[in-house]
Amino acid sequence: MGKALDGVRILDFTHVQSGPTCTQLLAWLGADVIKVERPGEGDATRKQLRDIPGADSLYFTMLNHNKRSVTINTKTPGGLAVLDRLIKTCDVMVENFAPGALERMGITWQHIQALNPRMVVASVKGFGPGPYQDCKVYENVAQCAGGAASTTGEVDGMPLISGAQIGDSGTGLHLALGIVAALYQRNTTGRGQQVLAPMQDAVLNLCRVKLRDQQRLERTHTMHEYPQYPDGKFGDAVPRAGNASGGGQPGAILKCKGWETDPNAYIYFITQAAVWPAICRVIGEPGWIDDEAYATPQARLLHLKPIFRRIEQWTMGKDKFEAMDILNQLDIPCGPILSMKEIAHEPSLRASGTVVEVDHPERGKYLTVGNPIKLSDSPTEVTRSPLLGEHTDEVLAQLGFAASEIQALRAEGAI
C-alpha cells in the first residue's frame, strides 16, 4: 500500500529531540528522510544515556526510526557541495540548530532559495522573535517559558516539570503540521516557504486553557473548580492546582487498593455531572442525589474535598482495574494511573502498533513508541534507526556522485 507522503524527500538536519520527532513522524507518513550528521560523531544523542556500551542509545534509536543517515562535514567545501546537491533535490529541510548556526554554515534562506525555490525550510527554535530569540533551549526551559511549569505542581509546592516532553516532542508535532501545510500550499503557489515552530509558543499552545484561566481570574478573582476555592486565596496569576481537572468537570487522583506499597495504585476519577446519580449509588451515598448540598454541579464545587474523600473510601477497596471495570459500566469517566511497565506490556497498545518491538544490529530487540497517528490508507511500519553514515554512499550515488568522487570526498574528510 502507498504512503501519504510518498515522493516527499526530507533533508533532515535535526538533532537531539524536538527536530528528530518531527522528521520521524514524516518518515512514518511515508517521506524519504535523509538525516545529515557530522562524520565520526553524529547526533549527540547516539552517545547519550547509553545502556549498552558502544551501541546507539535508546534516546537516539527511539527518535530516528525509518530514516537514512548520511555523514557530511558542513565545515568543509566538499561537504557544503554535497549539502547543496541535497538542497536541490529535497522538498523540505528541517533543522533545529541553535540560532545563527545554519547561517554560519552559509546556508541562508537566500542561498536555499537560489538553489531550490520550491524548498520548504522548517525550523525549531527555543523562542520566536523577541528578547530571547538568540538563546539555546532544552525541553525544561521551554516548559518554564511556555507557562507549563508555573501552572503545574502541588498547590503549595514549587513549579513542576511534566514528564511529557511537550517542549521537544510537542514542538516537533507542531512543526510537522506546518511542513505538511506548506507542502500543500506549494501545490498552488509553486513556492517553498519558511516554517518556524518556537518551543515557547508550542508549549503555550498546549497550555492555552491556563491563559483562559488567567483572564477568568482577572475578571472574577476566583475560579471555583480550583482547589484554592472556597477556603484558600487566589493571587493575581493562575495558581498551581495539583491534580484538579482544570476543566468544567471536577476530577482527582484517588488511592486504590495497594496504594501503600504500589506507587501507581491510583485512579483518576471525574465527577461528570451527567453521571452524578450513578456515582452516588456506586459509592453508597444515594442520599446525595437529592441532597441540595450535592445535587447540582454548582453546589458540589463548595464540597469537592469531602466528596473526593468519600469516593476515595470506595476506590481504596478496589484495585485500579476493578474500579475501572465497575465505573466504565456506569459510564463514569475514569482512568488508571498506568506505570511505564504496565504500558510496555499492554496488549492493546502492541496490537495497535503504538508500542512496537524493533530489532537493531547493535542493540538487539527493544521497545519503542510507534506512530500514534493512524491513517487507514497509509499504514506505518516502524523500521530501525540507521547506524551513523549507513547510507552515505547510497545517497551520494543517488545524488549523482561517481564512486571516485565519493572516495575523494571521504579522503578530504567531507563525508
Task: List active site positions.
Answer: 168
Closer to ligand CAO at the Cβ: 5 or 124? 124
Which residues make up the interface to ligand CAO (CB under 6 A)?
16-19, 36-38, 72-75, 96-98, 101, 104-105, 124-126, 136-139, 168
Query: Alpha-carbon Rg of the chain, whole angstroms?
Result: 26
Taking Cα atoms as reference points, which of 130, 224, 205 lies closest to residue 166? Answer: 205
Least Å distance between CB 40 and ligand CAO? 10
Closer to ligand CAO at the Cβ: 87 or 279? 87
- Grid cell listed for 360: 537493531
**Single-letter code of the amino acid located at 403:** A
Q: Is the dihedral of CA 40, 41, 46, 47 positive or negative?
A: positive
Q: Is 152 helix (H, G, I), strand (E, B) or coil?
A: coil
**Rounded-to-integer distance, Cα 220 and Cα 79, Å:** 60
Least Å distance between CB 38 and ligand CAO? 4
**Rounded-to-integer distance, Cα 336 and Cα 324, Å:** 7
**How far is CA 335 from each of CA 180, 267, 270, 321, rounded to the nearest angstrom?**
33, 6, 9, 9
Least Å distance between CB 399 and ligand CAO? 16
Residues 407, 410, 412: CA angle, nearest 5 degrees: 110
Least Å distance between CB 74 and ligand CAO? 4
Least Å distance between CB 394 and ligand CAO? 18
